[in-house]
Structure 1
Amino acid sequence: MSKKRLSIVDIAEKLNISKTSVSFIMNGRAQEKRISPELVERVMKLVKEVGYKPNSLAKSLRTGKSNIIGLIVEDISDPFFGAIARLIEDKAYKNGYKIIYCSTYNETQRTKEMINMFRDRHVDGYIIVPPEGIEEDIKSLQDDNMPVIMFDRYLPLVDTDYVIVNNQFSAYNATQHLIGQGYKNIALISFFTNQTQMLDRIKGYKMALKENNLKPCIKELPYTQNTKSLVEPITSFLKSKKNIDAILFGTNRDATCGLKVINNLGIRIPDDLAVVTFDDSDAYELHTPQITTIAQPVEEIAESVISTLLAKLKNGGENIKNQSIILHTELIIRGSSVAKSVKA
């Protein structure tokens, strides 16, 4: 049988003092309330003996602060989101906050449930990578004066702080790079979605092609946790589009699967097919040849997100306007997109 958890009332009864005095002592207000050092010593000695731990939920209800931030991302196991989460957690901890994070896998209902869970935990603020369909949930948080900041993407119909990269220019720049290397039949492989970051990447890709009188060739994949299920559609696409000479992958998830398919089909990079992908990774440097990437500024994204949220938490968000922070990516050119004329 588990032992009963002691409360402030239990401690007060054991020492024959008021629970208010115990509460003041436990919350560091003994000197302010002129409680004698002797009584403080008696209380703290008993607290240590019985292993008393304050109920964090009760404390948050009493003080209005939990010193917890809810972080909701698409997939915490994804290297991009995992790296940002680690950096956010580190700075939050240094500023007296803990992070609770979870993954949505782009599921609207799952995200709604997580927001409600965080509400029940009385978190002080929310950092969200939003799927579609949670606009009303975010507005409800704002109505309750909860600070919310989004990153990687945003919801056009909701006025919040958000941190993104210049997705349209990034895709445009990468496509122009491939065109400049002599490639003319450039495909874009990405996930089917109406999320802002992907729509902007498609716009940038199409813009570059239009400026050079080239035709787009887009393969949109269904979002899935099981990357193995992407093998068949990518394989079918590559087999049916034998004329393409370059691919821009919209995310590192489809790129990772795509590179496996390319290898399985015996397609040589870049002799048969040039490759560029969003999001840099150590794995791309280990690939032969190394993969050209659009690197997002992970540290800058994390810093912008947590600094913006902490600023609002510091003064309750009063008189601080919502910010739209747009950061720049870096096109890291490697062997996978070398010019046709200089191929080995």
Structure 2
Amino acid sequence: MKKLSIVDIANHLNVSKTTISFILNGRAQEKRIGKDLVERVQKFVDEVGYKPNSLAKSLRTGKSNIIGLMVEDISNPFFASIARLIEDRAYKNGYKIIYCSTDNDTQKTRELISMFRDRHVDGYIIAPPEGIEDDISSLIKDGMPVVLFDRHLPKVNTDFVEIDNLFSTYNATMHLVQQGYKNIAYITFASNQTQMQARLQGYKNALDENGLKPFIQEIVFSQDEELIMAPLSAFLKKHKNLDAVFFGTNHVGTCGLKVINSLGLTVPNDLALVSFDDYDVFKLFSPPVSAIAQPIEAIADSVITVLLNKLNTSSQHISSQSIILKTDFNIRGSSKKAEKAVAK
């Protein structure tokens, strides 16, 4: 059955399409349209099950009540949890969320931004890949509210919410040093993104302060875990003198746990472990893995609060906010040196 339009309804009821439009948009009273006519239109609309075209409505009202949420990978527990919380808060405020994964792919992100523009979304929440600066600047120039999270783009002046990455890794590396570990490796994904660079710097700063040598392995991100585990395994086999490993993300961390098991290494006796981005797998490993926990509720809350403020304020000239949140370091068995038995 062909979808009915306002023109079809107008023709069927022999009423002008402008009048029908006013009634369907709740402006009958304002336009002094008679109650009988409103009821006649409403009855017909109910009978035929007319649904207004949301795209046409958004063109008319200038609002779609949809927010575009772009994350790196919606299957990652960190992004999935944040997306869920943002969706709940948005829904309570009358907004729906469309989300998608960028896979950190610049071209894919461009295409997704273009799709969101076509859908007339009201605002954007983005964990941006590199090379997307011009596209985001263009959104801002067109008056679109944009909030970045998890990382920011130094050349783009917009609101962003992230954590204190540098202090988080500095603090966790210092914990390993204080436990007496000397050959501490840092294994991460190769990336120029602000959050990844800051994490690497925190690790280096802690080692510099203690006169220790860095051991860094940067792995090219891949959806195929085998392509992450192979270089990780080769690195651990090559550096047999390592006594501790710091994983820069939870995805590297879980691949690392599989490699450590396959190499028959015991934790923490052969190798102490610390990872960024705490989640359930780390608590279930034996011994449980010490990990930096991001404040997921606070991140989601800050992101949606900043965006709703932008959506509800007519002026686009509010100065941009940079919200930096603190993390928690959960110390568990994987990074503690076993107390040596004291001979009697």
C-alpha distance in 2, partners of 1:115/1:33? 38
Q: Secondary structure of 1:306's partner?
A: helix
Task: Using structure 1 for the length normalisation, give the TM-score.
Answer: 0.97
C-alpha distance in 2, partners of 1:319/1:262? 52
| Superposition deviation, residue 340 in structure 1 | 4.6
Which position in structure 2 is the counterpart of 1:214?
A: 212
C-alpha distance in 2, partners of 1:224/1:150? 23
In structure 2, list runs of 5 or more residues that go unmatched.
none
Q: Secondary structure of 1:70's partner?
A: strand
Q: Secondary structure of 2:275's partner?
A: strand
Q: Secondary structure of 1:164's partner?
A: strand
- Map 1:279-298 to 2 at 5 A: 279-298=277-296
Which position in structure 2 is the counterpart of 1:302?
A: 300
Which position in structure 2 is the counterpart of 1:205?
A: 203
Q: Secondary structure of 2:129's partner?
A: coil
Which position in structure 2 is the counterpart of 1:76?
A: 74
Task: Using structure 2 for the length normalisation, give the TM-score.
Answer: 0.97
- Residue by residue, what CA displacement relative to the aligned partner does 1:5-63 show, whole Å, maximum 9, x if unpaired? 10011111111111111111111111111112211111111111111110011111111
Which position in structure 1 is the counterpart of 2:12?
A: 14
C-alpha distance in 2, partners of 1:23/1:156? 46
Q: Any conservation in 2 of the 1:311–1:317 contact (CA below 8 Å)?
A: no
Q: Secondary structure of 1:17's partner?
A: coil
- Residue by residue, what CA displacement relative to the aligned partner does 1:206-229 show, whole Å, maximum 9, x if unpaired? 000010010100000001111221
Which position in structure 2 is the counterpart of 1:190?
A: 188
- Residue by residue, what CA displacement relative to the aligned partner does 1:86-120 show, whole Å, maximum 9, x if unpaired? 00011101111110010011100000000001011
Q: Any conservation in 2 of the 1:181–1:340 contact (CA below 8 Å)?
A: no
C-alpha distance in 2, partners of 1:231/1:143? 43
C-alpha distance in 2, partners of 1:211/1:341? 26
Q: Secondary structure of 1:339's partner?
A: coil
| Superposition deviation, residue 317 in structure 1 | 4.2
Q: Any conservation in 1 of the 2:254–2:281 contact (CA below 8 Å)?
A: no
C-alpha distance in 1, partners of 2:244/2:164? 22
C-alpha distance in 2, partners of 1:115/1:318? 20
Which position in structure 2 is the counterpart of 1:111?
A: 109
- The CA RMSD measured in Å over matched residues stands at 1.0
Alignment of 1:240 with 2:222, yes or no, is no
Q: Any conservation in 2 of the 1:231–1:257 contact (CA below 8 Å)?
A: yes
Instruction: Name the count of aligned residue pairs.
Output: 341
C-alpha distance in 2, partners of 1:47/1:9? 13
C-alpha distance in 2, partners of 1:92/1:191? 32
C-alpha distance in 1, partners of 2:315/2:201? 34
- 1:25 partner letter: I
Q: Any conservation in 2 of the 1:147–1:317 contact (CA below 8 Å)?
A: no
C-alpha distance in 2, partners of 1:62/1:150? 28
C-alpha distance in 2, partners of 1:232/1:137? 36
- 1:71 partner letter: L
Alignment of 1:58 with 2:56, yes or no, is yes
- Map 1:1-344 to 2 at 5 A: 3-341=1-339
Q: Secondary structure of 2:221's partner?
A: coil
Q: Secondary structure of 1:276's partner?
A: strand
